[in-house]
Structure 1
Amino acid sequence: MRTRWTKGMTLAVLIGATLLLSACSSPAGSTVPTLSGSTATADHGASGTKQSGRQHPRVGYSSSRVAQLHAAAQCLREHGVPDYQDPVLTADGHVFTDARSIQDAEAKMSSAQRTAATAAFEQACGHLFAVAGLQPDDESPAPPKLVQAGVRAAQCLRAHGLPNYRDPTSETPFTPGHGFGISGDELPNNGALGKQDPTVKNAFTACRSLLDAEIAASTMSSLAHG
């Protein structure tokens, strides 16, 4: 189901901040990601803003990069996010990350626990994320199969009462395993009633199979195969 996801100062953002600091102190010639600057996104919920940045391939596919991404993911699993999946590295060098699990883990933490988890990450995992060039708060462009599935779902939704629902493109924000983002202006009354709006509920019911196909195309395993 398409549920709202709004990012504030999450652990994923703090990871990005740690990597930015790593970039400032790294030896000349090393490559680490910088903050994307994004503040919020949504995956087909009532409202949300678009991501301001997208990842671009740092290098192509290599077994050494896969190993670096695994090491970074394993460290994060051991330091506060046990369900975090290994990032997907595609043949052309794009990286897809399981950012939702970071937010889900953070939502279960108290403020003190988040502070402790972030400190533990910085000490144990910051260098591994920098070496891997991994920034969980920034996703690569949506691949063609996902875009095609999203367009089919959008066409169905427009035909069932949501005329402002736009076709996604490769740059439309999406959350792995949850599909594309949606803005309030694509819903009735600027999304005032969210998913509880009868028109929205009816449209989502009518297009359920296509929405499920879109979500399936956005899973980490699907992203790994283009």
Structure 2
Amino acid sequence: MNRLAPAALAAASVLALAGCASGHGAASASPSSSASNMQQVLALGRSMSQCARAHGYPTFPDPKVNATGDDITFSPAGGPDQTKTIFQALESVPECKAILDRMNSTAKKRSGRDNRQEPKPKDVPALKRFAQCVREHGIPEWPDPKADGSFPLHGTAIEAEGKSQRLLQATQPCQRYWSGRIAVS
């Protein structure tokens, strides 16, 4: 599973998909507050992309909002491991490190608001019910979870779709099966 906020590698990859789930009952921010926060996170991600380009990674991509709109992803040609490697290298560049630190700080604040549990292998049966429900509610291509509890969405059309109305409508009735985070791999 890839996460946006491991220590100073704040933006290394996809943060868990919040909003696709409920049932373990976590409160969320108001839509306008959430949208405003996401705009700030996206702006910070764009700054990171610009810093990466200016310091030796000219093809580093702009961030994209993930499938449920609760965080950002970077998708360089080399995948999440490439992102991690680039961010590790950029920690030695003061202006890039400052951006990484801010990304890490905002990720911690967001995760503090969102106390939903992380999926674990023991949660796979509930996650499978969630996946079946999502398929029944309009997203037939939604995959079953992997053995670690993550959903193999990285690089798929679902991930590229972002927080679409279709995704929100399909996942909302399925929240009774899973309210924790939905991790993407």
TM-score bracket, normalised by the shorter chain, equals 0.3 to 0.5
- Structure possessing the higher relative contact order (Cα contacts under 8 Å, 6 or more residues apart): 2
Q: Provide the TM-score with structure 1 as the length reference.
A: 0.37
State the structure with more CA Rg.
1
